[in-house]
């Protein structure tokens, strides 16, 4: 009879495999953020397209640089 000791041993191995599999497939969020980076907005002043995260936002308008935002405000 080797009963319980073997059972605990097998459960231990199963647990280790389960933990390793979980660690292997953790980062799956990157795809979503990569799509966000590809989102382009148009500069209201010069019409150039810039990534949304790099654009300067002024209420509902977007600008490629602070200079264009300031020049648009003067008008």
Residues within the interface to Zn ion (CB under 5 A): 43, 45-46, 64, 68
Tell the residue number behind the tokens 């405000």, with chain if given.
73
Contact in structure between 63 and 42 (CB atoms under 8 Å): no
Structure tokens at 51: 């990534």
Q: Which is nearer to Zn ion, 41 or 64 (CB)?
A: 64
Distance in Å, CB of 71 to Zn ion, minimum: 9
Distance in Å, CB of 35 to Zn ion, minimum: 24
Q: Which is nearer to Zn ion, 12 or 51 (CB)?
A: 51
């Amino acid at each position: 009879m080797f009963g319980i000791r073997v059972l605990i041993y097998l459960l231990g191995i199963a647990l280790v495999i389960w933990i390793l599999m979980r660690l292997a497939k953790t980062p799956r969020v990157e795809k979503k953020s990569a799509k966000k980076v590809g989102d382009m907005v148009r500069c209201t002043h010069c019409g150039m397209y810039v990534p949304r995260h790099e654009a300067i936002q002024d209420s509902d308008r977007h600008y490629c640089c602070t200079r264009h935002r300031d020049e648009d405000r003067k008008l």
